[in-house]
């Protein structure tokens, strides 16, 4: 039976058919749906972990325990998991271990275009790369076979275009995979220097063996047609090559590390002109050129963004497609939702003249006009450490006009250690945890602070107040962002105190309110003085239409933030929308 599947859904199906027992992840676009689909299979244990490092460690533990396990993350998440990644390469596995990583060429929802293939090379871990949903499922099963055959974890790389596009997938029955026996083996699983030195030799022998075997693996295949022109490619660029050059010879790589050297040399010896088509970095191209082979790639193509069939036509076929210049549309920058509790925080910070170091999440949108509420945003958990660094550089008086801003999920992910650092090193940062009771930007996933598991079961809820107190914060306040006076007082007071403090700003994400009933506001035209104060909130429900200020009743949820900023009492409640 065939079924139309997202690439991420096909990965989950592959894990199910491969007999996986344990699946872990921290949500991150474009990888999030993998574990959400896995959670629907009752035979697999699935969990959100506090961060990617923990997720990988849990999967490693399950593997050592004899079970097939899988963990999933986006490309920047692999940075967080890099510490155990490099060492599990040395220990190898017991039950098969697959690490899914989803890169984001074009940065549709990421802060950089990192190419995860570098990690495969650096950590000496084999990497597979599927080109459609069918391969996404098949490669997962193949990855577990290779993992156990060669005693190695396997990286499987997706890109956004594979994760979020659909194609037909042949459904098969799941394999019956028994737990492998656990045997204590400190020389294999305890990586003290004396053991690690010996394991490093084994890792190098393993990679040499896989390099030799790669040329005969079915996932690496050469399709010889017109020998005047050929392409070496993998992943989604393979689809573009087949569309534009249907008669050309193609060497499709299913394994992008290690490369099948013998197969590539044979292909290049038979084809007159060979192009390397790979998105992002020239990783395949540089290796092939290092072997003395004449190929062409990045001198024609780019290391930035996604490729397309049109790009190949223009850059390689040298045809002018005379594509129309896209119409210039009014810009629609991303904004905080109408009724978002974060808007109130940024408005108050701006009113008080405060600066903020920021983090990754919905609240990052507060950096944009008109709120301009963030000064920095680097990576998950960076806000607290960066403010501490500013204090150490410029003194405690300087940061009396500063706070760090972090979400509840991000605080659990990697903010806790930053707070411990502030306390330990006698800083006086004011940290604002914007607790909206969800992991908002990736689609409302649960986290340890919500008290609900990935499978929807109630569980122990992390108490953020007690946690902050336990690491040494004596001043912890919880405020409602819609109680404006209390919020302003908390910010003003805590930033002036010569010790670290935490303000937990707690209100649920507006999108989680499923009641469907809101008390809305309207603008009284007779009282409105057209001062524009309400526009400074950046609320998408407030607009100026035909010269008149108005509130869009399809968007307004009646948070009343605009009521508080109108000096002329021109904004009032109008009624209930269901």
What is the residue whose two structure tokens read 């890109």?
159
Contact 60, 32 (CB under 8 A): no
What is the residue whose two structure tokens read 């459904």?
171
Contact 251, 222 (CB under 8 A): yes
- The β-bridge partners of 508 are none
> Is 559 annotated in some ligand binding site?
yes
CA-based radius of gyration for the chain: 27
> Is 539 annotated in some ligand binding site?
yes
Q: Cα separation of 578 and 576, whole Å?
A: 6
| Cis peptide bond N-terminal to 30, omega within 30 | yes
> Is 468 annotated in some ligand binding site?
no
- The β-bridge partners of 275 are 231, 296
Q: Cα separation of 44 and 19, whole Å?
A: 8
| Burial zone of 517 (CB within 10 Å; 0-12 exposed, 13-18 middle, 19+ buried) | exposed
> Is 340 annotated in some ligand binding site?
no
Helix 133-150 to helix 193-214 angle (10° resolution) is: 130
Residue ranges with strand state E in 511-560: 518-523, 542-545, 548-551
Per DSSP, 455 falls in state: T
- Give the 3-state secondary structure of residue 170: strand
Q: Cα separation of 375 and 359, whole Å?
A: 10
List the one residue out of 15, 18, 159 whose CA is nearest residue 101. 159
What is the residue whose two structure tokens read 């490693």?
60
- Give the 3-state secondary structure of residue 167: strand
- Give the 3-state secondary structure of residue 25: strand
Per-residue tokens: 349? 């910070």
> Is 268 annotated in some ligand binding site?
no
CB atoms within 10 A of CB 456: 8
What is the residue whose two structure tokens read 């391969």?
135
> Is 337 annotated in some ligand binding site?
no
What secondary structure does DSSP assign to 380-417, as a single string?
Answer: TTHHHHHHHHHHHHH-TTGGGGEEEEEEHHHIIIIIHH
- Give the 3-state secondary structure of residue 522: strand
Q: Cα separation of 495 and 554, whole Å?
A: 38
Residues tagged in the binding site annotation for [4Fe-4S] cluster:
528, 531, 534, 539, 556, 559, 562, 566
Binding-site residues, in ranges, read 528, 531, 534, 539, 556, 559, 562, 566
């Amino acid at each position: 039976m065939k079924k139309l599947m997202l690439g991420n859904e096909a990965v989950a199906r592959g894990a199910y058919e491969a007999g996986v027992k344990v699946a872990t992840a921290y949500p991150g676009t474009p990888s999030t749906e993998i574990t959400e689909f896995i959670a629907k299979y009752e035979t697999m244990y699935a969990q959100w972990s506090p961060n990617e490092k923990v997720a990988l460690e849990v999967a490693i533990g399950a593997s050592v325990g004899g079970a097939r396990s899988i963990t999933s993350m986006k490309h920047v998440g692999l940075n967080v998991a890099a510490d155990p990644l490099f060492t599990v390469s040395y220990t190898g596995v017991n039950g098969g271990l697959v690490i899914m990583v989803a890169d984001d060429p074009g940065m549709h929802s990421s802060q950089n275009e990192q190419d995860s293939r570098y990690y495969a090379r650096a950590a000496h871990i084999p990497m597979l790369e599927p080109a459609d949903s069918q391969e996404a499922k098949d490669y997962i099963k193949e990855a577990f076979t290779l993992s156990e055959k060669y005693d190695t974890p396997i990286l499987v790389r997706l890109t956004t275009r594979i994760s979020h596009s659909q194609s037909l997938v042949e459904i098969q029955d799941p394999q019956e995979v028994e737990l492998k026996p656990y045997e204590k083996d400190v020389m294999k699983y305890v990586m003290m220097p004396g053991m690690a030195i010996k394991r490093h030799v084994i890792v190098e022998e393993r990679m040499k063996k896989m390099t030799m075997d790669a040329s005969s693996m079915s996932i690496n295949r050469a399709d010889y047609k017109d020998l005047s022109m050929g392409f070496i490619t993998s992943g989604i660029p393979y689809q573009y090559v087949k569309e534009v050059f249907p008669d050309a010879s193609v060497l499709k790589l299913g394994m992008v590390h290690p490369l099948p050297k013998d197969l590539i040399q044979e292909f290049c010896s038979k084809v007159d002109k060979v192009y390397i088509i790979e998105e992002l970095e020239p990783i395949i191209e540089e290796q092939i050129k290092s072997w003395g082979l004449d190929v062409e790639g990045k001198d024609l193509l780019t290391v930035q963004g996604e490729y397309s069939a049109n790009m190949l036509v223009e850059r390689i076929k040298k045809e002018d497609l005379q594509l129309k210049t896209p119409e210039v549309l009014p810009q629609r920058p991303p904004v905080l939702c109408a009724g978002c509790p974060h808007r109130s925080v940024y408005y108050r910070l701006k009113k008080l003249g405060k600066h903020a170091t920021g983090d990754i999440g919905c609240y990052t949108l507060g950096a944009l006009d008109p709120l301009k509420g963030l000064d920095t945003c680097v990576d998950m958990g960076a806000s607290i450490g960066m403010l501490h660094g500013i204090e150490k550089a410029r003194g405690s008086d300087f940061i009396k006009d500063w706070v760090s801003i972090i979400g509840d999920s991000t605080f659990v992910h990697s903010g806790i250690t930053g707070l411990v650092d502030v306390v330990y090193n006698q800083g006086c940062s004011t940290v604002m945890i914007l607790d909206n009771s969800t992991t908002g930007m990736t689609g409302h996933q649960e986290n340890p602070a919500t008290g609900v598991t990935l499978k929807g079961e109630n569980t122990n809820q992390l108490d953020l107040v007690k946690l902050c107190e336990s690491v040494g914060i004596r001043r912890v306040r919880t405020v409602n962002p819609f109680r404006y006076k209390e919020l302003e007082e908390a910010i003003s007071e805590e930033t002036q105190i010569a010790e670290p403090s935490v303000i937990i700003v707690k209100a649920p994400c507006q999108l989680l309110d499923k009641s469907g009933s809101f008390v809305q506001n309207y603008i009284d035209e007779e009282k409105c003085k057209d001062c524009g104060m309400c526009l400074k909130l950046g609320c998408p429900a407030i607009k100026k239409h035909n010269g008149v200020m108005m509130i869009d009743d399809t968007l307004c949820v009646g948070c009343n933030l605009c009521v508080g900023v109108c000096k002329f009492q021109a904004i009032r409640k109008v009624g209930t929308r269901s």
